[in-house]
Amino acid sequence: MVSLYPLKKHLLPLALGGLGIGTTEFVMMGLLPDIAKDFRIDIPTAGHLISAYAAGVVIGAPLLVAISGSFAPKKILLALMGLFTLFNGLSALCPNNSVPLMLAARLLAGLPHGAFFGVGSVVASRLAEKGKEARAISMMFAGLTLANLLIVPLGTFIGHHYSWRYTFGLVTFIGLVTLLFIQLWLPALPINRSGNFKSEIGIFRRWEPWLIILTTAIGTGGLFAWISYIAPLMTDVSHFSPNTVSYIMVLAGLGMVAGNFAGGRLADRMDPAKALLILLMAMVVTLILIFSFSNIKVLSLLFTFVAAALSLGLATPIQLLMIRTAKEGELMGAAATQAAFNIGNALGAFFGGLPIAAGFGYNAPALAGACMSLVGIFFARLLLSMQQKPSVPVVKAA
């Protein structure tokens, strides 16, 4: 049995990685107006930087796990965090007159994101006591929630009052500290994979992993449609001062902290697929409420907290569901789930930007998000119905 203290100590490097990754992913939403101003582009165009990062995650998650071959998890995590640190440093140094270069920097910075969380979630589940795997994974995601509670608001404040470049410099520093703690505290776990790429991608011959990916990519995209444009939503619709956006991000961070641990406990107490379905339904309702009542300040703040809680509440049930479904290729499956999250990030930013570009208000992305989450519910329901049946292969064996 793993005692509580060493479990927390061993998971700290993963949580630190989540802190850096969560900061660079979510701080962009609060800094969009500042970055758009410096690069002399409009906000929907600046939103492409969010999509570029997400595209990097989608490309990098399965690719980097695949080329890591039979390396031990600790070495994989060190390499991934090294790449993350390098490319976030380059983002901080990108000149204002080169939007394509900034897009490329964000794309490359996203490459290690999904693979880190994918490998990290498998490591966390292997370090956990039986029956507490979801809570161990949520401990890893705690770094991401703390990023939204503490570092994202701080980074937003720094970006508003000084420069967004200092914010990415802070992310780079967190990456360096994470490298140190991975080396010092993360156990050197044995390799637990076949090393055979062909056999690992065999998990995608069954429908269940694909349904998890579709549910994640489309269903969680609804939340990204909302949060990608949270800064102009709060200033133009809810009529908060731009100087209060960083404090609103603190509130969102509190929601993510609460949702992360609630999602972990929920997934340990019931079937993760059922937990996923419940949370997606709550997401649809919340996004519709955001669309309808964001002009009322108190309600806008309340729904910000709830939506943020749901955004992280979904993470652990989805990750645990994929690990259990893809046991013969858990690293590949977990990485694919992270890629799916960021397909949702890219789709959400894209579809959320369409009504803004068409001249609708900044509350319109929430309604687009609700539609995306409804599609996610459809796929989650299919997945739940298949759990009681034998796995059906996507293609027949030769």
2 pLDDT band (50/70/90 cuts)?
A: very low
The predicted pLDDT at position 3 comes to 41
Kindly report, residue by residue over 5-36, the tens digit of the pLDDT. 344 677 889 989 999 998 998 888 778 888 98
| pLDDT of 321 over the 70 cut | yes
Asked if 293 contacts 303 with a C-beta cutoff of 8 angstroms, the reply is yes
Kindly report, residue by residue over 131-186, the tens digit of the pLDDT. 677 777 888 778 888 887 888 888 988 988 899 999 999 999 999 999 999 998 88
| pLDDT of 368 over the 90 cut | yes
393 pLDDT band (50/70/90 cuts)?
A: low
Window from 76-90, 120-134, 169-183 with minimum mean pLDDT: 120-134
| pLDDT of 258 over the 80 cut | yes
* Sequence-ordered list of residues with C-beta below 8 angstroms from that of 397, at least 6 positions apart, any chain: 205
User: What's the CATH number for 4-386?
Assistant: 1.20.1250.20
315 pLDDT band (50/70/90 cuts)?
A: confident
| pLDDT of 349 over the 90 cut | no
The predicted pLDDT at position 353 comes to 87
Higher-pLDDT residue of 143 and 290 is 290
Overall average pLDDT of the 67-95 stretch: 89
| pLDDT of 398 over the 50 cut | no
Q: How many percent of the chain have pLDDT more than 90?
A: 34
Overall average pLDDT of the 344-349 stretch: 83
Among 61-65, 186-190, 191-195, 283-287, the range with the most confident prediction by mean pLDDT is 283-287
The predicted pLDDT at position 143 comes to 84
126 pLDDT band (50/70/90 cuts)?
A: confident
pTM (predicted TM-score)? 0.76
344 pLDDT band (50/70/90 cuts)?
A: confident
The predicted pLDDT at position 46 comes to 85
User: How is the chain split into domains, by residue range?
Assistant: 4-386
The residue whose two tokens read 């965090």 is 81
Higher-pLDDT residue of 60 and 192 is 60
The residue whose two tokens read 């380059």 is 90
User: pLDDT averaged over the chain?
Assistant: 85
Higher-pLDDT residue of 138 and 223 is 223
Burial environment of residue 2 by CB neighbours within 10 A (0 to 12, 13 to 18, 19 or more): middle
Kindly report, residue by residue over 100-111, the tens digit of the pLDDT. 999 999 999 999
| pLDDT of 397 over the 70 cut | no
Phi, psi of 230, deg, nearest 5: -70, -35
The predicted pLDDT at position 250 comes to 83
CA distances to 73, 127, 189, 313, 316 from 120, rounded to whole Å, are 8, 11, 12, 18, 12
Going by C-alpha positions, the residue among 275, 379, 298, 332 that lies closest to residue 67 is 332
The predicted pLDDT at position 323 comes to 81
The predicted pLDDT at position 370 comes to 94
348 token code pair: 């959400």
CB 10: neighbour CB atoms within 10 A?
19
Window from 97-101, 122-126, 306-310 with minimum mean pLDDT: 122-126
Q: Which residues pair with 393 in a beta bridge?
A: 206
* Sequence-ordered list of residues with C-beta below 8 angstroms from that of 196, at least 6 positions apart, any chain: none
258-261 contacts, C-beta under 8 A, 24 or more apart: 258/309, 259/145, 259/308, 259/309, 259/310, 259/311, 259/312, 259/313, 260/138, 260/141, 260/142, 260/144, 260/145, 260/312, 260/313, 260/315, 260/316, 261/135, 261/138, 261/142
The predicted pLDDT at position 61 comes to 81
The predicted pLDDT at position 196 comes to 60
Overall average pLDDT of the 347-355 stretch: 88
1 pLDDT band (50/70/90 cuts)?
A: very low
